Structures are given as C-alpha cells and as structure tokens.
Structure 1
Amino acid sequence: MELSTYEVVYLIANIFGTYIVYKFMHVFFETKEANHKIELLSYVGYYIFIALVYLTINIPVITMICNILAYLGLSFNYNAGIKRRLLSILMIYLILICVEVSVALLTGYFNYSLLTVNNYSSGYGLVLAQTISYLVVRILNNYKNIRKGETIPLANWIAIILIPISSLYIILTLFQATGLSWERILFGVILILLVNFTTFYLYDVISASMVDKMDKILLGQQNKYYRKQFELMESSLKTTKAMRHDLRNHLSVIYALVEKGERDTALKHLSKMTDIYDDTRQYAYTENIDIDSILNFKIQAAEQQNIKIALDLSIPEKMYIPSFDLAIILGNLLDNAIEAVAELEKERQIKIKIYYDKGRLIILVENPFQGERLKEGNRYLTTNKEPSQHGLGLENIKSVLQKYDGSMVITQQGMVFSASLMLFV
C-alpha cells in the first residue's frame, strides 16, 4: 500500500505524539515502580496499534474508542487505583482532542463526522497540534500532587470525572450540530479546554489537601505516642524516687528479719516490695524514643482490649530514619494487627520483632485472625468499617519503604497473618 504525503507526516508526527502521551502519563502517575523495559515496549506497541487503526480504519468514533482503551492499557504500567486511572485517561484524552479539534478548525477543516472516514489532510495542522500538546503537557507537569496517589473522596471523584465526560460529549455534539459557524465551535472548544484546565487545577488542589490532611493525622498520632512515652517516663521516675526514698527502711526491716531467722517473713516483705515497685506490664524500653513511643502507645491500646504483646527488640538508640516514617510503618502495622486480634476469643496475642543489623532495620509483625482477609489484586484491604480512621494503609507503608530501598512481604499461613519489612537505614 502506497502512503500519501500526509500519512507519512502522520506516522512521523505520531512518534512525537506517543512521547507526548508518555509525558502526560507521567503527569498523572507515580513512575518509580514502573518496569521501564515493559513501559518502553508498551509505548512502542501503542504507536503501532494507533498507526494501524488510522491507516486501515480512520473513522473518528473508532479511533476515539481505541485511543481511550490504549491509554487505559498504558496506565497499567503504573500503580494506581481504578478511580484515578479512569479520571486520568479521560482528562488526557480530552485535553489532546481539544487541541486537535482547535487546530483542525483553524486550518479550515469543518466537515467532521463521527461515523465516516476522516479526510483531514493538513500536515502543518498535524505538526501544530503536536507542538501545542507538548507545550500543554509541559505546563501541566508543574502540578506535583496528582501523581502522589492520594485517594480523594468518592463524592469529589464523581463530581470531577463528570466534567471531562460531559465535555467530551459536548465537543462531539458541537461538531454534529448544524448552523453553527466554525468560530462559534472553536470558541466553545476553547472554553471546554479552559474548564478542564480548571478541573485539573482543582484535582491538584484536592490531592494537596489530602496530603495535608494525612500529615496532620500523622502529627496527631506522633503527639499521642510521645505523650504516652512521657507519661511512662514520668511514672518510672516517680517509682524510682519512691524506691530510693524508702529503700533504706525496707532494707533495715529485711536485715532484721533475716538476722532473727524469720526467712519466710522476709520473703513476704520482698514480695510486697516487688508488687509495689515493679511494673510487670510489658512495655518497650530500647532507649530509642521514637520506636518506644509508638510501641508503648499501641501496647496500651492492645492491653485495654486484653491483647497480649510479645516483644523482641534489638535496636540502637539512634537511627537515621525520621519519626514521621516510623509512625506510618509501625502505627499502621499495629493498628491492623490489633484490629484483627480484637475479633478473636482466644489466642489474642501479637508478636513483634524489630532488630537492626548492619544498616538494615527488620520489622516482623505476626498475628492470628478469623474470617478471610480481603484482597484487591495484590493489595490487602482493611476490614475497618471506617477506613479513614484506620491508619494510613499498607500502600502508604510501601511509599515510605521506597525512600529506603526497602521491601515488604505479606504472608498468610493458616489463620496467621504476618508482615515482614526490611529498610536500609
């Protein structure tokens, strides 16, 4: 099949167009965990697929459907929920089609039909559309919060996604309407584009507010952890002072009892001293104030629900890991474990092992559970009826682990759930 000049220009320009789609994807999605070889191959496949659709079919409605499906496929290179995928690909497609339609109108193309072959043939218009699209994606790249993956409320998401869906419908309707001048259609398309730019901005603002909200939740959690730790330290200090104050008197009594041969009475006195001064509750005391604070706060919460905590700790006083990150990791892991064990009638125990070895921090949390742990893909879901009050999620733990080249392995053997984490610190 011999290609026309315009088709040759299209194939060349679409190489740049594929790169623009790639840049758009990087605006909306976090790309750190993407497999770059697979990502490259997927974009090559996208280019070939779209080129074949254009050369063999070239009917606008089919091209539109193929592009949207292809964008959806490309989005699976990146970690994201289905809500964010749908919103992202719709906004990407709408922005690109608004640019293409505007350029088509400016270059004299007015006879547009969804169901007949597209006979647009301006090579200059094609190059101009790609250039404008690239400038747009460069501008949108300044918005940093969207790609962080914060989950916005469902009501907000529905309100936002209705805008690109409605905009796409309006654009297609404008082109099918009769009696409208190309200037009016162009003005309408530009307004729709501006509305969606505003939507993009609002989406970024909402994402930023969710980040801020989560930060405030974390700071609140940290304050609770440290408050509990200070209470324990104050209690320990008071007990120590009391022991030092009365120790001489107690020793005198014990000495006198032993001297008289009243061994049993002396042992009873010692036992009373132990009951008064020895706090037999199992609390964390490693001199690492951050980890101690978090563990002691969670241990107290577990004890209030008659849940036992088995601790095995071997960590230094200082580690190069912010308390903010530790709060996300330990706080959420222990919230999950306490929530699961609280539903049991027996075997109400959580095992926690944390140790530091040659620059690696290892965290193991193991707990029994009942019922079935729900999964969405490879992701475990909370069973809490109010997820917003349930820590920050295993996905947020993974985000923190990336900063330390860390990893997390979750296993389920029988009715025992365990999470194993490793961080390089």
Structure 2
Amino acid sequence: MQPTVYLVSNAVHMYAVYILFTAVLGKSKLHQFAEILTYIVYYLINCGVYLFMDNIMLNLISNILPMFVIMLQYKKPIQTYIFLTIGVCAVGMILDWMMFCIFPESMLLKSNTPQSIAFLGFVFLFRHYFNRKEKIIVTSNYVMLLVIISIGTIIIAELSGPESNAKCFVISVILLIINFLNFYLYDKYIENMQMKIMFNAVESSNQAYKNQIQLMNESQKKIRLLKHDMKNHLLKLKYDLENGNYTKADEYINNMTNNLITEKEFVNTGNIDFDCLLNYKLSIANEMNVVFSCHIVLPEELQVNSFDLTVILGNLLDNALNALKEAKVKQLNIDINYSIGMIVIKIENTFANISSKYDDPEKHGYGLISVRTSLEKYNGKLQNNIVDDKYVVKAVLYNVVKKS
C-alpha cells in the first residue's frame, strides 16, 4: 500500500514543481509534449531511486540533479537555476520537518503525502501572489544572496532537528516563512528590474520621437519657405530654359532639392518607429564624427510592439555608440532586413582594444537584460562576435508579420 501512496504523492509533488517552474521561468523552449516528458522522466527517476535504492544520498541526488537539468529548457541564467534548486530543497526539507512535528506517528509521512500536499499549497500561494506574465532574464549577484539565505535555513534545520516538539515546530514555521520571503524578494527584484527597463525604454523612445518631431518641423518649415517663393523659383527656371541655359537650370533644381533635405534626417524608410530611433541615434553618431552606413529594407508597418523595438534596437545602438567613444577609427554599419516573417538587425562597430567605460554602467547592464527578454517574445536570438576588428551583433526576431 505504501509504495502506491508514495507514487501518487510524488506525482502531486512533481505537479507542484511544474507549476513553480512555469510561474518563475515562463514558457519552455521545447514543444509542450517534450516539456511534459522531461517531468515524467524526472518523476520516474525519482520514484525508481526511492523504491529500489534505500539510500539517502541517492534520493537527494535524484531530486536535485534532474530538477536542475529540467530547468535548462527554459534558457535562463544559472543564478536562477541555483536559486530555484536550493529554494525548492529548503522548502521541501522544512515542510518535511514541520509535518513530522504535526504527525510524528503517521505512516503517511514515509510516503511523503502530507509534505507533497503542503508543498503544493505553498506553490499555489506563490503563484497567486507572485506570478508574472513577463519573464525577464536576471543576471545579478542579488539572486545569489537569496541562495545563501536559503542554504542558511537548511543548515539551521539540520542543526535544530528533526525533533517533534513545539519549539521545533515554531522554528520550522519561521524557516518556511523566511524561504517564502526569499521568493517574495526575488519577485520584487524582478518587478524592480521591469520598472527600470520600462523607464529606460520610455526615456529613449521619448527622446527619439522628440528628435523626429524636430526633424519634421524643420522639413515643414523648408517646404513652407519653398512654397512661398515658388513663383519666383519657377520664373527663374522658365527664364533659364527659354534662353537655353540648361546647365544653370539643372544646378538651380539641385539647389532647391538640397534645401529640402533636413540635416539630421539620415534615414527615411517609411516605418516611423525605425525612423525615429535611427535618426536620433545616428544624430548622436554624427556628433561623434562616426562614419556610418545604413542599409534598411522594411515594410512601412509591422506587427512589432514599439516598446520591444525601442528596447532591442535602441539598446544595441547604445552599446555600439558607447564602444565607439573610445575607438580611434569610428565606423558604424547598420543593416536591417525583413524577409518572410523575420527581422534581422545587424550592427557592426569598431572599438578600442581596452575595456569600454560607460557613463551609466547600471543602465548598460539593464540594456542587455532587456534586449534578451524582449527577443524571447518573438522566439528570437542574439548573436555577437568579433570579425575583422569589428564587433558584430545580430538580433533576429521571428514570427513578425506585416499589418494588413
């Protein structure tokens, strides 16, 4: 009877782990069937070791190692994997101790039934309060601090128990609350990161649109002046043409055309989001005496969130401009193409042979995190390399369609 009860209770525990991982890590990179299959394999390994190998160390390894491997399918930083692995182990151990304090003589303890039910309740509570739709990529030592706290609770639990008395029960409750607060602090850290990423993106977007409005105003002003003097311009052209001064007429037309060109309007693709960002960033590059080139092939309207576009393109250009500040030879090449539902953004820039210094290192760090997070929404990828003394970064967005 006990093995059967254990198999059921362990299935409950595995379901709780699945809920926790999807709540914290987001969507798996695998197909849903493959994702579920990994949890089934984890379940079978765990059950097999428990039922056929009466060894505490092997039981511990069969819990920790498959759990860590499963998390790899979510493609998050190793700090997050370590945090979840230690956190789940700490909560499981403390719940086991707590249930022992409540039901010291129960046979169900050996089948892990009360522990699994309590863990499922813990996970549902976590998901209810802290589940976020946006799963950003975290690469911070702050997460490792939370790991150390969880390890501390495990050490305290080992030194204090397991015993079944009121004092131990109170200690187990306190340690469980500490771990719950650990997950709470992790969630609040994610929230803080999201706010900073959003603030940086909105600030960059506002600057870009402000710059584009200035360009439009300059262009409109020149058009109004040309319209005002159009009669005189036409009379001048008519005179040159009637008198056979074709060269002068051609030069005059060229002068009129040049007067219509706005100095800081470097690109005009028709896609307002790309134009705003590129004109703003290229105006900064121009002030830095950067030699740049742009090759852009885009439809006028794409189903790409403007916020994500600002995050991806804006931050990649910011990184390039930061590297160009210290470069002796300042060159920047931008290549953006759309083809068959895919946007490819390729940026090449020269750089100094010493490590770059940034005006705002914290903002720069958030930039890389936010680029990868935004790319995840489009199943995209980020590649970087050094080719012919140039830093080359390529961002690819998939499943992007034209607006009808």
**TM-score scaled by length of structure 1:** 0.78
Q: Alpha carbons of 1:419 and 1:383: their partners in 2 closer, same or farther (altered >3 Å)? A: farther
Counterpart residue identity of residue 363, structure 1: V
* Counterparts of 2:290 and 2:123, CA distance in 1: 53
Aligned twin of 1:424: 400
Contact 2:332 2:350 in 1 (8 A): no
* Counterparts of 2:29 and 2:369, CA distance in 1: 13
SS in 1 for 2:293: strand
| Structure 1 segment 62-141 matched on structure 2, within 5 A | 63-64=59-60, 66-108=62-104, 122=108, 126-141=112-127
Tell me, yes or no, if structure 1 residue 145 matches structure 2 residue 142: no
Q: Alpha carbons of 1:257 and 1:315: their partners in 2 closer, same or farther (altered >3 Å)? A: same
Q: Among 193, 198, 211, which residue is 1:210 paired with?
A: 193
Question: Deviations for 1:257-286, whole angstroms, at most 9, x for unmatched residues?
Answer: 666677777666666555544446652223
Aligned twin of 2:209: 226
Question: Cα RMSD over matched residues?
Answer: 3.7
Q: How many pairs are equivalent?
A: 396
In the TM superposition, residue 293 of structure 1 has moved relative to its aligned partner by: 1.0
Q: Among 167, 181, 190, which residue is 2:153 paired with?
A: 167
SS in 2 for 1:351: strand
Aligned twin of 2:306: 323
Select between 250-259 and 292-301 the one with higher mean Cα deviation. 250-259
In the TM superposition, residue 215 of structure 1 has moved relative to its aligned partner by: 1.2
| Structure 1 segment 222-371 matched on structure 2, within 5 A | 222-253=205-236, 255-256=238-239, 273=256, 276-279=259-262, 283-340=266-323, 344-346=327-329, 348-355=331-338, 360=341, 362-369=343-350
* Counterparts of 1:291 and 1:139, CA distance in 2: 43
* Counterparts of 2:104 and 2:216, CA distance in 1: 78
Counterpart residue identity of residue 225, structure 2: A
In the TM superposition, residue 390 of structure 1 has moved relative to its aligned partner by: 2.9
Question: Deviations for 1:83-136, whole angstroms, at most 9, x for unmatched residues?
Answer: 111111111111111111111222226xxxxxxxxxx95458732222222222
Contact 1:29 1:146 in 2 (8 A): no
Select between 389-398 and 12-21 the one with higher mean Cα deviation. 389-398
SS in 2 for 1:321: coil
SS in 2 for 1:148: coil
* Counterparts of 1:162 and 1:194, CA distance in 2: 16
In the TM superposition, residue 149 of structure 1 has moved relative to its aligned partner by: 3.1
Counterpart residue identity of residue 68, structure 2: L
Contact 2:77 2:137 in 1 (8 A): no
In the TM superposition, residue 161 of structure 1 has moved relative to its aligned partner by: 2.6
Contact 1:24 1:92 in 2 (8 A): no
SS in 2 for 1:285: coil
* Structure 1, gaps ≥5 residues long: 110-119, 375-381
Aligned twin of 1:32: 28
Contact 1:28 1:147 in 2 (8 A): no
Q: Alpha carbons of 1:407 and 1:343: their partners in 2 closer, same or farther (altered >3 Å)? A: same
In the TM superposition, residue 33 of structure 1 has moved relative to its aligned partner by: 1.6
* Structure 2, gaps ≥5 residues long: none
SS in 1 for 2:213: helix
Q: Alpha carbons of 1:272 and 1:98: their partners in 2 closer, same or farther (altered >3 Å)? A: same
- Percent identical among aligned pairs is 24
SS in 2 for 1:141: helix
| Structure 1 segment 171-186 matched on structure 2, within 5 A | 171-175=157-161, 182-186=165-169
**TM-score scaled by length of structure 2:** 0.81
Q: Alpha carbons of 1:65 and 1:198: their partners in 2 closer, same or farther (altered >3 Å)? A: same
Q: Alpha carbons of 1:353 and 1:64: their partners in 2 closer, same or farther (altered >3 Å)? A: closer
SS in 2 for 1:424: coil
* Counterparts of 2:48 and 2:28, CA distance in 1: 31
Q: Alpha carbons of 1:250 and 1:192: their partners in 2 closer, same or farther (altered >3 Å)? A: same
* Counterparts of 1:230 and 1:147, CA distance in 2: 32
* Counterparts of 2:58 and 2:299, CA distance in 1: 62
SS in 2 for 1:80: coil
Select between 98-107 and 43-52 the one with higher mean Cα deviation. 43-52
In the TM superposition, residue 236 of structure 1 has moved relative to its aligned partner by: 0.5
Contact 2:137 2:369 in 1 (8 A): no
In the TM superposition, residue 47 of structure 1 has moved relative to its aligned partner by: 3.0
* Counterparts of 1:424 and 1:411, CA distance in 2: 22
Counterpart residue identity of residue 56, structure 1: M
Counterpart residue identity of residue 394, structure 2: A
SS in 2 for 1:135: helix
